[in-house]
Structure 1
C-alpha cells in the first residue's frame, strides 16, 4: 500500500523500467520532481471557499452526493472502464517487456490479451462441470448442513422455542399472520447483473484493455502537453508514474499471493478428502481478492460442502478450520512480510472503503476497492490541497 503521507518519493525517469510509463524527458528537464506536499488543512479548506462557509460546504457536499449517485446509477458504464484501467496497470509491464524485445505495442497487447483470454476460457471450461454440480445441489446442500447442525444446537433451539411460546402467550394472539415472501435477485444476477449485461461488460473490458495497452502512454503524453504550468506537468507525470508502478506491483504481488493460497488450499482439500480440490483452490484464489469478506465467504462455502461430504461432524468441521488456519497464516505472516511498507492504507479507512465500493458496485466493487483507494491516496499525496485526505487514508 502507498507510502506514508510524510512525503511520497518522486519517481525519476527510468527508461529501463517496465513498471512505469514512458514520457518525454524534456518535459521534466528544468525542475526537480516534487517530494510530496506536507499535509495542510488550510489548503483543503480553501477548496470549500474563501472562508469555508456553510454555502460552500453545502455545494461541495451536493457535488460529492452527485458523484456517488452517478457512480451507483451508471455502474454498467463506469465499472468496465475502471476494470480495464486496472488490467492496463497490471499488463503494461508485460507489453513494455515485449516491446523491448522488438514487438510493437499493438502486437504485444494483442498477444497479452489473447493469452489472458485463453487461460480464463480454459479454466472456466475445466471447472464448469463441478461448479454447475455444486450450484444445482445448493438447496439440498444447505438443508443437509442445517440438519447436521441441529444436533449441535439442540439446547439453543429449545431455548428459542420456549421464548417464542412465552412471547405468543404474552401477546394473546393465536392467529398466525400471513407471511409475505419477497424474493431478491439471484446470486448470479447479484454477481454479474444478468448474462447479457455480464457479456456486454466483459466485451467492453477486453477491447478497452487492448486499446489502452496498444496506445501505450499516449494519454499521459497528451495530458502533459495540454497542462499550462510546468508544476502541473510534473505533478501529473509523478502521479501517473507512481500510480502505475505501485498499482502494477500491488496487483501482480496480490495475484501471486492469492494463487499461492489457492494452491495450498487445493492441496489441503485433497488431503482432507474433499471432492474437486482444484475447484476449491480456484474459489479460494478468487475470493481472496476481496479483503476480509472473501475469507468469510470461502469458509462458509467449505463448511456447507464439508457437512454434505462427511458424516462425521468433527471431520466436517476440520475442513473450514484448516482453511481458517491457512488464511490466518497468509494474512498475518505472509502478506505483511511480502508487502512490507508498500501501499500502506489505514485499516479503518480500507474497511470503510470496502463497504462503500461494495454498496456502489457490488462484488466487483469490493474486489477493486483496494486499488481504487490506493490510487486516490497517491493522488492526494501529490496534490497540496488534498494532502490532508492522504494523511487520513495513510497508516
Structure 2
C-alpha cells in the first residue's frame, strides 16, 4: 500500500504566508507606536529615568563596592544627580530671566535689520496681489482662540509635577533593584547558553550606555566652556550663561545646536549695532560645535562607537515626534541600547566591540 507524500507548498502559498507575517509585524509596530504616544505621560519619565539610571549606575556600583547597601547607594546617586541639576538650573535661570525681559528689544533690532528687505518683500506682495486678482482668490480669515496663560499653567503644572515625581521614583527604584531585576530575567532563561547571552546583553547595555553618556556629558561640559570663552572674547554679555546653555542643548543632537545658533543670533542682535556683528556669536558657536562633532567626539568615544548620521537623524526625529524634548534626550541612548542588543543576537554585528569582547562572542553559538 503506497503512502501519499505531502505536497510541497506552492510559490503563491509561500508568498501569502510571508505577506501575512509582514502584515502582522507592521501592525505590531503601529500598535507599539500608538501605545508609546498614548502612554507618554507614564512611559516618557520612566524611560528617561532608565537612561539616567544607566549613567548613574557606575556611581552606585562604586558605593556598593565599599559596602553601602543598594537602597542607600541608589539614594546617594539620585541626590548627587538632583544637586547637579539644581546647580545648573540655578546658574541658568537667573540670567536667562533677565534676557527674557529683553526679548522686545531683540525683536525691534531684528525688525530694524530686516528693513533692508522691505523692497524685495514689497515686490513679492505685489506679485501675490496680481495672482490673486487673476485667479479671483479671496482673503482667508483665520481666527485663533487665545486661551488664558494662567489657565494653561493651572492645567500643565500638576501634570509636570506628577511626571517629575514619576521620574525620580523610577530612577531610585531602578538603581536600587537593578541587580534583582537582572537575576529575575536570567532565572527565566532556559538553558545555559541563552542565560549567558542575556547576561552579555545586560552587561553591554549598562557598559555602553553609561560610558557613552558619561563621555558625552564631559564633552558637552567642555563644549560649554569653549563656547563661553569664545563669546567672552567677542564681548558678548553673559557669556557663561550661553556656554552653559550650549552644553545642555547639545544633548539633543541636530535640534539643540540649531536652537542654540538661533538664540545666539538674537543675542547678537541685542549686543552689536551691525547685522554683521550680530552674526559673530552664532558663527563662533557653530565653529566650536563643528570641532567638537568632527574631532573631539570621535576621539573620545572612539571610531568603533560612531553612529550612522542617518540613523541618528531618524532616531531623533522619531523620538521627538513621540515624546517631545524628553524623546530628543533619550534618542541616542535608545539607539545605543538597540545596537548593544543587536550585536549579541545578530551574527557578524560587531559595533562597539573591543578585541577581547570579539573573542568572547566568537565562542558563542
Q: TM-score range by the shorter chain?
A: 0.7 to 0.9
SS in 1 for 2:304: coil
User: In the TM superposition, what is the alpha-carbon distance from 1:155 to its structure 2 partner?
Assistant: 4.9
Query: Structure 1 residues 367, 233: closer, same or farther in 2, change over 3 A?
Result: same
| Aligned with 2:97 (options 125, 129, 132) | 132
8 Å contact kept, 1:145–1:307: yes
Q: In the alignment, which residue of structure 1 is the partner of 2:42? A: 77
**Alpha-carbon displacement from aligned partner over 1:318-338 (angstroms, at most 9, x marks no partner):** 111111111111111111122
Query: Structure 1 residues 182, 357: closer, same or farther in 2, change over 3 A?
Result: farther
| Aligned with 2:109 (options 132, 138, 144) | 144
**Alpha-carbon displacement from aligned partner over 1:248-267 (angstroms, at most 9, x marks no partner):** 00000000001111111112
User: In the TM superposition, what is the alpha-carbon distance from 1:344 to its structure 2 partner?
Assistant: 3.2
Cα RMSD over matched residues? 2.8
Q: In the alignment, which residue of structure 1 is the partner of 2:283? A: 321
User: In the TM superposition, what is the alpha-carbon distance from 1:141 to its structure 2 partner?
Assistant: 2.6
SS in 1 for 2:252: coil
Q: In the alignment, which residue of structure 2 is the partner of 1:249? A: 211
Query: Structure 1 residues 145, 350: closer, same or farther in 2, change over 3 A?
Result: same
**Structure 1 gaps, min length 5:** 1-48
For 2:147 and 2:312, the matched residues in 1 are separated by: 28
| Aligned with 1:105 (options 70, 85, 104) | 70
Query: Structure 1 residues 298, 185: closer, same or farther in 2, change over 3 A?
Result: farther
User: In the TM superposition, what is the alpha-carbon distance from 1:139 to its structure 2 partner?
Assistant: 4.9
For 2:304 and 2:145, the matched residues in 1 are separated by: 46
Q: TM-score, normalised by structure 1?
A: 0.77
8 Å contact kept, 1:84–1:208: yes
For 2:90 and 2:300, the matched residues in 1 are separated by: 33
1:57 paired with 2:22, answer yes
User: In the TM superposition, what is the alpha-carbon distance from 1:146 to its structure 2 partner?
Assistant: 3.1
| Aligned with 1:168 (options 117, 121, 132) | 132
Count residues in correspondence: 336
1:377 paired with 2:358, answer no
For 1:142 and 1:239, the matched residues in 2 are separated by: 52
For 1:73 and 1:146, the matched residues in 2 are separated by: 41
User: In the TM superposition, what is the alpha-carbon distance from 1:363 to its structure 2 partner?
Assistant: 1.5
Q: In the alignment, which residue of structure 2 is the partner of 1:88? A: 53
For 2:323 and 2:209, the matched residues in 1 are separated by: 20
| Aligned with 2:297 (options 324, 330, 335) | 335
Q: TM-score, normalised by structure 2?
A: 0.83
**Structure 2 gaps, min length 5:** 1-13, 354-365
Query: Structure 1 residues 51, 382: closer, same or farther in 2, change over 3 A?
Result: farther
Tell me which structure has the larger Cα radius of gyration. Answer: 2
Query: Structure 1 residues 142, 230: closer, same or farther in 2, change over 3 A?
Result: farther
**Alpha-carbon displacement from aligned partner over 1:28-79 (angstroms, at most 9, x marks no partner):** xxxxxxxxxxxxxxxxxxxxx9975222221111111000000011111111
Range with bigger deviation, 342-351 or 242-251: 342-351
Q: Which has the higher contact order (CA 8 A, sep 6+)?
A: 1
Query: Structure 1 residues 183, 382: closer, same or farther in 2, change over 3 A?
Result: farther
8 Å contact kept, 2:92–2:245: no
1:157 paired with 2:128, answer no
8 Å contact kept, 2:91–2:241: no
